[in-house]
Amino acid sequence: MKAHLEEKRQELVGRREQLIGDFSEHARAADETQLHQTFQHIHLTNEFISSLDRIRGEVSVKSPSSTRKFVVSSLFLTDCFKKLTADRDEQFVFITGAEVDGTAVLDQMLELQHEKRSVGGVTADTRCSHGLLIRLERFRHRLLATFHSHPTKGVNGTTPSDIDCGFQERLERAGHRAIMAIFSRDGFIQFLRLDQNFEIEIFGEELRNMHPTFTDSPTSIHLIGEWIPGAEDRHQKIFGFDQATYSRSRILCIGAGGLISHIAPTIVRKGIGGVTLLDNDCVEVTNLNRQRFYQRDIGKNKSIALAENLLGECTAPTVLVGHAARFEDAVADGIDLDCEVVVCGVDNNPSRFVAARYFRQAAIPVIFTAVSADADHGYVFIQDKLAPVSGVSSRMLSTMSAIPVPERRPSRTYCREWELSRSTQSTRF
């Protein structure tokens, strides 16, 4: 990260030196028009360099802990899927295996006895669970993973519940290196650890060849756009326009879907200094006909995918930051939300309410925008730094005032997702 920032800084410094040389040439030629334009370019370049220096100073140097590495075969995943979805009720198993050169091989399934199983959940027998852990210890093996099924389908069917996160959190606090895998009814899998510290490799050509679009989805991304000289020249002719102010500004976008994915490209084309995106949702195939995503983005987190797609829209070294998190989680996790203005494009009133209250206390203006579920109307309203919200109906305000502030989920997750293969029976195995 710091190396990338330094590379961009050197590029801008070189650009500035070239502009200074051009300035000298124009001064000798007494060309006042070119002198003025070149001076503006030098000023903007200095602003961008200052922004990069500020970002570099904010990047904390963390001593990286050893990454937990796992490998599993597509054949073993297929067998696990069949076991976990053999009937309508949720199922839960322990996974162990060999550990070779620091890499854990997931290849042994340990079945548990259950106190209760239903469509809505599964409770393991405590005595059986302890017995299996003692058996693992006797054979010098470790609990490497827990696999369980959910009753729903699709990518969203692998979303961890609060109970899932709580169970995984207890394992991690106890020092277990185990990861969790959640299987949907139609063959989607999500691997996760709450500390986000793991890598997993799927062994098997068949799996990779059939569904290559489901790839790593990190929890954050940090990109910097490229300078395009002259892109703002036409705007410089407008009285009062100040590109330097744009270049110093940062905008926070809450949501990265149907609305923000169309708003953000216009923002970055104006040379805004920084754009931060927050969204914990993943791109689905149904998003492609109305949101700024492509087939290659399916399965990725929306904020990550949108940041990558915005990189080609930049006309200046705009800093693009994406976090796979809800706004509420971003606040709780201490993510940097510093900005001059917020654009809120989420589809639920609880998040709007939390954002309205949070940024009113911070004296940061917020632009709220939305469309109705049946797409027959939309609205935009603005909450100024300290003034009441304008453009929102009393009916909506009364609805929002009755909404409790949502509790924070135990954690955000680092995940990989795959859609496994179809067989002749039209299932994915």
| Residue range 128-163, pLDDT digits in tens | 888 888 888 888 899 999 999 988 877 777 888 888
Phi and psi torsions of 406, nearest 5°: -65, 140
The answer on pLDDT for 109 being more than 60 is yes
Distance of CA 393 to the CA centre of its chain: 32
Of 95, 126, 98, 127, whose CA–CA distance to 111 is shortest?
95
Contacts of 330 (CB under 8 A, 6+ apart): 278, 323, 337
Q: Are 120 and 151 in contact (CB under 8 A)?
A: yes
The answer on pLDDT for 426 being more than 80 is no
| Distances, alpha carbon 252 to alpha carbons 248, 273, 312, 336, 342, in Å | 14, 11, 19, 10, 5
Q: Which residue has the higher pLDDT, 402 or 265?
A: 265
**Quick check: pTM over 0.85?**
no
The number of beta carbons lying within 10 Å of the beta carbon of residue 21 is: 11
- pLDDT band (50, 70, 90) for residue 389: low
Predicted pLDDT of residue 104: 93
Cα torsion angle, 281, 287, 291, 294, sign? positive
- For 157-190, what is each residue's pLDDT tens digit? 788 888 888 889 888 888 888 999 998 888 888 8
Cα torsion angle, 101, 106, 112, 115, sign? positive
| Distances, alpha carbon 162 to alpha carbons 311, 326, 373, 415, in Å | 35, 15, 27, 16
Q: Are 12 and 52 in contact (CB under 8 A)?
A: yes
How far apart, in whole angstroms, are the C-alpha atoms of residue 258 and residue 404? Answer: 26
Strands 366-371 and 415-419: unpaired
The answer on pLDDT for 345 being more than 90 is yes
Contacts of 186 (CB under 8 A, 6+ apart): 153, 154, 157, 427, 428
